[in-house]
Amino acid sequence: MIAPKTPKPTPAEERAAYETVTERDQGRCVRCGAYGTVHRDHRQNRSQGGLTVVSNLQCLCVLDHKWATENPAAALEEGFACPSYAHPSFWPAYRFGAGWVILFDRPDANGDWWAEISEVTADLLMERGGR
């Protein structure tokens, strides 16, 4: 089944998503946990149709952003990228200190921005294409 197309966010919605992700990730790299200068990285590249929404963004330090850009297959396998055919809110992400998660575009009823999942669940979702 093909999901309905998500409308492109407005510039104001994109700015809000960047700000939200910086707060959600506490200005910290989700790969190594480093504080300092972080890039707000699209898990699914914009050139592949990835939108600037909270579930598609993550904070990465300069070195880990470079690594993810230069090693797309490894970034995908390790949970720091989302393929073009999947929706980021259904594709597992890896977070330093939390492990495997599914990211939300807004907090749930408990105020959480993600749900932790097991490595087995992450593997199954990635095997089935996160659709």
Return the higher-pLDDT residue of 93 and 131: 93
Q: Is the model's pLDDT at 131 over the cut of 70? A: no
Residues 6+ apart with CB under 8 A from 118: 100
pLDDT band at 6 (very low <50, low <70, confident <90, very high): confident
| Model pTM score | 0.90
Burial class (CB in 10 A: 0-12, 13-18, 19+), 33: exposed
Return the higher-pLDDT residue of 76 and 7: 76
Residues 6+ apart with CB under 8 A from 21: 40, 54, 57, 58, 59
pLDDT for 2: 57
Return the higher-pLDDT residue of 47 and 38: 38
Residue extents of the structural domains in the chain = 11-127
DSSP state of 55: G
Residues 6+ apart with CB under 8 A from 40: 18, 21, 22, 57, 58, 59
